[in-house]
Amino acid sequence: MIFIYGDEEFLIENEIEKIKNKNGDKNFEIFRFSDGASIDEFTHTISSSDIFNRARLFLVYDFPFFELKKLSKEDEFYSYEIIKALKIQSNDTYVFINKEISDKNKISANSFTKFIFEDKGHSTKMIEAKSISKKDIFVIIKSLASKYKVNMDDNAINALIDKTPNDLLIIEQEIKKLSMQGKIIDSEIIFESVSEYYNNEDQFGFVNSLESNDLALIWTKYNEKMIEGAEISLLIGQISQVFILAHQIYAYKITNEGLDKLAKELNINNYRIKKISSFLNKIGIIKIKKMIKSLSSLDQEIKNGKVNDKIGFERFLIKYFK
Both 62 and 148 in one domain: the answer is no
Q: How many domains does the chain have?
A: 3
CATH number at residue 310: 1.20.272.10
Beta bridge partners, 97, equal: 4, 61
Q: Give residue-wise pLDDT tens across range 26-74.
A: 888 999 887 778 899 999 999 987 667 789 999 999 999 999 888 999 9
> By three-state DSSP, how is residue 198 classified?
helix
What is residue 23's predicted lDDT score, i.e. its pLDDT?
92
Residue ranges making up the domain that contains 252: 200-321
Pairing of strands 93-98, 56-61: parallel
Distance, in Å, from the CA atom of 240 to the CA atom of 292, rounded to the nearest integer, reads 7
CA dist 46 and 86 (Å) reads 7
pLDDT category at 214 given cuts 50, 70, 90 is confident
Q: What is the CATH number of the domain that holds 38?
A: 3.40.50.300
Query: Residue 202 pLDDT more than 60?
Result: no
Pair (107, 17) in one structural domain: yes
User: Do both 117 and 90 map to the same domain?
Assistant: yes
Q: Does 204 lie in the same domain as 105?
A: no
Q: Do both 222 and 290 map to the same domain? A: yes
User: For residue 198, is pLDDT > 70?
Assistant: no
How does DSSP classify residue 89? -
pLDDT given at position 193: 81
Q: Interior CA angle at 58 toward 57 and 63, to 5°?
A: 160
Provide the 10 A C-beta neighbour count for residue 260: 13
239 & 298 share domain: yes
Both 49 and 65 in one domain: the answer is yes
For residues 145 and 171, what is the distance between their CA atoms, to the nearest angstrom?
Answer: 10
**Dihedral of alpha carbons 276, 200, 215, 131, sign:** positive
Domain edge (last residue) among 76, 105, 128? 128
| pLDDT (0 to 100) of residue 204 | 58
Quick one: average pLDDT of 198-222? 73
Domain boundary among 101, 128, 155: 128
